[in-house]
Structure 1
Amino acid sequence: MITVEPDALQRRTIRVLLCAQVFSGAGLAAGITVGALLAQDMLGSTGWAGIPSALFTLGSAVAALAVGKLSQRHGRRPGLAVGYAAGAFGSVGIVAAAVVHSVPLLFVALLIYGSGTATNLQARYAGADLARPDHRARAISTVLVATTLGAVAGPNLVGVLGTFAEDVGIPRLAGPFLLAAVAYGAAAVVIAILLRPDPLVVAAQLSADSPNHDDPDPTDRRRWPPTLIGGTMVMVITQLVMVAVMTMTPVHMQGHPHALSAAGLVISIHVASMYLPAPLSGALVDRFGPAAVGVLAAVVLAASGVIAALAAPNSVAVLSIALALLGFGWSLGLVAGTTTITDNTPVGARAATQGAVDLFIALAGAIGGLLSGVVVATVGYEWLALGGSLTAAVIVPVLVLTARVSAPAGTPHRRSRR
């Protein structure tokens, strides 16, 4: 029986998620900043530097599906808590792999570490469970923006954490993963203790929906409506482009050469641009709709790739601008796509469908991370960035096509669900 007023419970849920996201932001920043450099150091090849991003993104794909199913069955609290705990465990494994210089252990630990990344993104859905339909995008973006504090602080602590790691007998590049272990562990504790009542369980109890055969079945992607597929594709393409360019930027900078702290600065600006403008992304989606903002995401991402390709290798300022636009484009695409998924999915299938969507997003990121190192080693960073621009442009025809296919059936079913 629900004894708490839904709007008051929504505000409490957002506060708890904000706290957890601050911690988890610091956890995910470790892999972004030094993952490729650690692999380059242990494997001795730039061509394999994209492996960490590919592995922890692949791990996040599996975790996204698992967290979604666990959340569907038992609620957001156990799903998110278990996901963050797995991320902490993977972080410890990465540190251990660096200490004993074990590449197989590093690969396994990176897969597990990806659970934290998946859970950090899954939390955005929890913020929308009890939100009013006309405020869903802003609720999603509020949860995302909380990641900024930890995610920006993490890369800027690379030097300090590296020194600390060396002082205690741990390889310098493994230092940030010590922070990740503590940060993800803290996020798991916050969710496990404070996310009560569970927002998804409450939303299911409040829902007045009756079974509807037109609703998407999370186990049968062939029955997803075009609008749902379009929203998924926006996020898939956005993730592919963002991960590919972001992963190889620190490697590109170190090769020209820049200090590790300079790469950390550029990545912190990038990560800040992923999460800090989220409220603006949410307001734009609520005002103009997900499709229009999806097109804007394509434009911003394409501009980012062109600027990165034309930037002088020794220009930290221009690379920072390019990576800032890359982050903002990702924010626009993620909020637009997430809102589309939530609007077009019933409570009874919501978490499982969201997990399936995030599976595809994570797989796209894994492909981007894996191919990025090969592309840079073969033709250079500039061609990787230009390829990202062309790929981002595909979002526009995808949205046009899904809009045309949906048109005969009328407007997409945007239901007033709790």
Structure 2
Amino acid sequence: MSATPAVDEPGQPERQHPAQRRTLAVLSLAQALGGLSNGVALGVGSLLVAQVTGRDELAGLAATLLTLGGAALAVPLARLAQRRGRRVALTSGALLALAGALTLAIGGTIGAAAIVLPGFLVLGGAMAVNLQSRFAATDLSTPRHRGRDLSLVVWMTTIGVVVGPNLIGPGDALGVGLGLPPLVGAYLISAVAMAVVAIVLWTLLRPDPLLESRIGAPAPTTPPRLRLAEHPRALAAVIAVAAAHATMVGVMALTPVHLDHAGQHLGVIGFTMSAHTAGMYALSPVFGWLTDRVGARSTVLVGAAILLLSIASNLVLPVDLAPVGLALLGLGWSAATVAGSTLVAAAVEPPLRPALQGRSDLVMGLAGAAAGATAGPILGLVGYAGLNVAMLPLIAAIAIAAIVATRRREPQPA
């Protein structure tokens, strides 16, 4: 069974565009380097915030501000892509992230929280670039291979998130050798990575995939405007992605705290989070293939089922088997996000796609930030088991949204 697109696309070519292979290679390289930058930044972010503020309870602001920065930049970068193409938009996001990394290095050097905290917001450009790169991978895709192409770029993040944290030590040694305070050197590595990303995207992302996809298409008589109320299937696709992300963040964010309270040592906590990260990215090409072969709806529903299995594992397995539940949490997120993002990529007509993709990334980021912010109070009120149970309505929303997003307006031949 082939995947069913969210909109009818009778004019879409079935043969791969000659520039698509080059586009995927460039985006994959940029994605790996961007993931490396994020991995380094997040690895010491909480420590840097605690260091410059002198308050450990504020350490979580690093991840929160980075996520909010990525969400806030999603729509402006999508609008820039709509007007000027992916190359300009993605390069601009990388340059913003470079500025954010340098701001963090400066703020950390002089110990100024007023500089460090906004720096994380600007560094969110790296997250925005990583998110929008997966959509750029679909600009020249055929409907039959859209899931595969998107998932390949997502998978390349694995390299960055694995290698990045391992560069924290060398980066710190580099910074100290240059006379900088501890933790600051890591952001020099992050800055170099984003500088290379900007160079790669600007020089090699030619032809621009979004502009190339418009060749031969009639130019709109008026600037396209997206009203989600007029596109219920697109809105449902956005909800499916956001709900999957909120489920993942809500459980993941407080699992280390739960394990620490349960008396688990740092080695177990680290292994648990590594299992989770591996689940998020390592098998994304499998879910992309599944999206193309059996359909996006089925793959999102598989993701919801895996998330449900993760919740059950967290409820019934002993605490020393936490890596099982967190690996399943990552796998469920991967399936739902890859397939859901594929739905978003095809949910509206081509002129409206960049706008929808930007809004999807915005909602996804805000949903994740909200889930992370509320997970702490929920954990305090009802414990880790209650926190997992609280995710069940979100998992139901994923399944319902996937069904709505793939509902046909009229019967189509198989």
Distance 2:201 2:270 in 1: 29
State the partner residue of 1:111. 121
State the partner residue of 1:283. 289
Q: Which secondary structure does the structure 2 equivalent of 1:197 belong to? A: coil
Distance 1:372-1:31 versus aligned 2 partners, 3 A rule = farther
State the partner residue of 1:192. 202
Distance 1:321 1:32 in 2: 23
Q: Displacement, 1:332?
A: 0.9
State the partner residue of 1:355. 358
Q: Displacement, 1:19?
A: 1.1
State the partner residue of 1:55. 65
**1:241 matches 2:242:** no
Which of 291, 296, 302 aligns to 2:308? It is 302
Q: Displacement, 1:157?
A: 3.7
**1:229 matches 2:235:** yes
Distance 2:269 2:163 in 1: 14
Which of 15, 18, 21 aligns to 1:8? It is 18
Q: Displacement, 1:218?
A: 4.5
Q: Displacement, 1:295?
A: 1.4
For residue 332 of structure 2, what is the amino acid of its counterpart?
Answer: G
Distance 1:273 1:72 in 2: 33
Q: Displacement, 1:379?
A: 4.9
**1:182 matches 2:188:** no
**1:28 matches 2:35:** no
Distance 1:237-1:170 versus aligned 2 partners, 3 A rule = farther
Distance 1:75 1:31 in 2: 28
CA RMSD of superposed structures (Å):
3.1
**1:324 matches 2:327:** yes
Distance 1:248-1:206 versus aligned 2 partners, 3 A rule = farther
Distance 1:218-1:363 versus aligned 2 partners, 3 A rule = farther
For residue 16 of structure 1, what is the amino acid of its counterpart?
Answer: V
Distance 1:105-1:245 versus aligned 2 partners, 3 A rule = farther
Contact in 2 for aligned 1:156/1:265 (Cα 8 Å) = no
**1:90 matches 2:93:** no
Distance 1:68 1:111 in 2: 18
Moved more, 69-78 or 389-398: 389-398
Moved more, 349-358 or 268-277: 268-277
Q: Displacement, 1:364?
A: 0.9
Q: Displacement, 1:74?
A: 0.6
Q: Displacement, 1:116?
A: 0.7
Contact in 1 for aligned 2:155/2:285 (Cα 8 Å) = yes
**1:272 matches 2:278:** yes
For residue 293 of structure 1, what is the amino acid of its counterpart?
Answer: T
Q: Displacement, 1:152?
A: 1.3
Contact in 2 for aligned 1:153/1:268 (Cα 8 Å) = no
Q: Displacement, 1:244?
A: 2.8
Q: Displacement, 1:176?
A: 4.0
* Cα-to-partner distance string for 1:7-60 (whole Å, 9 max, x where unaligned): 221111111111111101111223444434544555566654443222211111
Q: Which secondary structure does the structure 2 equivalent of 1:410 belong to? A: coil
Which of 247, 255, 265 aligns to 1:258? It is 265
Distance 1:299 1:44 in 2: 43
User: Structure 2, unaligned stretches of length 5 or more?
Assistant: 1-14
State the partner residue of 1:334. 337
Distance 1:45 1:245 in 2: 24
Moved more, 131-140 or 41-50: 41-50
Distance 2:54 2:412 in 1: 51
State the partner residue of 1:138. 148
Contact in 2 for aligned 1:46/1:377 (Cα 8 Å) = no
Q: Displacement, 1:126?
A: 1.1
For residue 100 of structure 1, what is the amino acid of its counterpart?
Answer: I
**1:18 matches 2:25:** no
Moved more, 105-114 or 64-73: 105-114
**1:410 matches 2:413:** no
For residue 80 of structure 1, what is the amino acid of its counterpart?
Answer: L
Q: Displacement, 1:296?
A: 1.4
Q: Which secondary structure does the structure 1 equivalent of 2:17 belong to? A: helix
Contact in 1 for aligned 2:50/2:58 (Cα 8 Å) = yes
Q: Displacement, 1:402?
A: 5.3
The number of residues matched between the two structures is: 399
Which of 136, 147, 158 aligns to 2:157? It is 147
1:362-401 matches, cutoff 5 A:
362-376=365-379, 379-400=382-403
State the partner residue of 1:101. 111
**Identical counterparts, % of pairs:** 33
Q: Displacement, 1:112?
A: 0.7
State the partner residue of 2:5. none
Distance 1:253 1:91 in 2: 31
Distance 1:175 1:324 in 2: 31
Contact in 1 for aligned 2:237/2:401 (Cα 8 Å) = no
Distance 1:386 1:159 in 2: 38
Distance 1:73 1:114 in 2: 22
For residue 28 of structure 1, what is the amino acid of its counterpart?
Answer: N
Distance 2:318 2:298 in 1: 33
